Amino acid sequence: MSTINLRELARKGPKLLPGHRHCSGCGVPVAVKLVLAAIDEPVVVVTATGCLQVATTIFPYTSWHVPWIHNAFENASATAAGIEAAFKALKKRGALGGGKIHVVVFGGDGGTYDIGFQSLSGAIERGHDFLYILYDNEAYMNTGIQRSGGTPFGAWTTTSPVGKLIPGKPQHKKPIADIIVAHRAPYVATATPAHWADLIMKVKKALSIEGPKFIHVLTPCPRGWRYDSSLSMEVCRLAVDTCYFPLWEHEKGIWRLTDRSLAIFKDPKLKKPVREFLRVQERFRHLLMPGNEGLIKEFQDYVDSVWSELVKRVQASN
């Protein structure tokens, strides 16, 4: 798919209804609405424990306008695998129509990078036909802003506090999407809600492919990242423009840059220094203080090395 019909998109009824309890400026419900807007066929949604589940299903209310099931941090992917296998069995027995029913999982970084990784890895290895959406707010936001495997280097969290001993989290972010590529999943991609057309097209492409698919969506958190809630989409754009979070897709062995990242690849002068991304977030405030220039350099060197490696993969694919 190369274009999106905005009129048709606008006519679709929402599959995530208003009235949820997400914080003002949260990137998660924006991403979820875009993902669901891209789906035309029937869909069953699975959510791991996390901000999305808590904010959309406070008893006795729900914001889900599609079939939905919640399971624990550990086993959302296993639940999705069971649903997908059940649909296959019902169709084989003639107890279900022949139309496509999509199974989509939404998991946060805690339920994906860390606690739920084993069930995700297993479901991909077994080849189940489902789409996994990682909504990445880069910490355990639901339980009090604790660091996760998705928390970036130098970030303040309640379990990686800034002090005399450590300057925030001492480790870099786990390359989760690369790890899924190493599982040989047929489709893996990155996206943000600010680059909405790119996200929608990637969801549509993913759902057209048989087997396990994975899309890593950056979803800024005003509470945990410490920025004004009106800046969420700008933070997404800075993450991409600095190459902190490049936009790409990996389809059956072929790497491609997309949207703004493709533009930066064609014109490297468009790439901004990572300081531009860091300076709008209070969780990185200490990195910008005098005497911490070495930490900024380490952050920039890491971002540059990841971008350079990605570019090489793309060039080798062409």
Whether the model clears a pTM of 0.85, i.e. scores above it, the answer is yes
Q: Which two tokens stand for residue 113?
A: 């990078």
Is the distance from CB of 283 to CB of 155 less than 8 angstroms? yes
Domain boundaries, the chain: 13-317
Average pLDDT over residues 183-194: 98
Give the model's confidence band at 265: pLDDT under 50 very low, under 70 low, under 90 confident, else very high.
very high
pLDDT at 92 over 70: yes
Give the model's confidence band at 2: pLDDT under 50 very low, under 70 low, under 90 confident, else very high.
low
pLDDT at 3 over 80: no
For residue 13, the model assigns a pLDDT of 85
Average pLDDT over residues 200-221: 98
Dump pLDDT digits (tens) for 146-172: 999 999 999 999 999 999 889 999 999
pLDDT at 238 over 90: yes
Give the model's confidence band at 99: pLDDT under 50 very low, under 70 low, under 90 confident, else very high.
confident
Sheet (strand 248-251) strand order: 68-71, 43-48, 102-108, 131-136, 213-218, 187-191, 248-251, 254-257
pLDDT at 274 over 80: yes
pLDDT at 44 over 80: yes
For residue 6, the model assigns a pLDDT of 79
Q: Is the pLDDT higher at 230 or at 3?
A: 230
- Least confident range from 7-16, 205-214, 278-287, 293-302: namely 7-16
Per residue, what are the HEC states of the chain?
Answer: CCCCCHHHHHHCCCCECCCCCCCCCCHHHHHHHHHHHCCCCCEEEEEECCHHHHHHCCCCCCCECCCEEEECCCCHHHHHHHHHHHHHHHHHCCCCCCCCCEEEEEEECHHHHHCCHHHHHHHHHHCCCCEEEEEECCCEHHHCCECCCCCCCCCCECCECECCCCECCCCCCCCHHHHHHHCCCCEEEEECCCCHHHHHHHHHHHHCCCCCEEEEEECCCHHHHCCCHHHHHHHHHHHHHCCCCCCEEEECCEEEECHHHHHHHHCHHHCCCCHHHHCCCHHHHHHHCCCCHHHHHHHHHHHHHHHHHHHHHHHHHC
Rounded Cα distance between 241 and 106, Å, is 26
pLDDT at 1 over 70: no
Give the model's confidence band at 188: pLDDT under 50 very low, under 70 low, under 90 confident, else very high.
very high
pLDDT at 36 over 90: yes
Average pLDDT over residues 33-47: 96
Give the model's confidence band at 97: pLDDT under 50 very low, under 70 low, under 90 confident, else very high.
confident
Give the model's confidence band at 45: pLDDT under 50 very low, under 70 low, under 90 confident, else very high.
very high
- Closest listed residue to residue 244, CA positions, set 307, 157, 181, 295: 307
Q: Is the pLDDT higher at 110 or at 181?
A: 181
Q: What percent of the chain has pLDDT over 70?
A: 99
For residue 318, the model assigns a pLDDT of 81
| Domain 13-317: CATH class, spelled out | alpha beta
For residue 209, the model assigns a pLDDT of 98
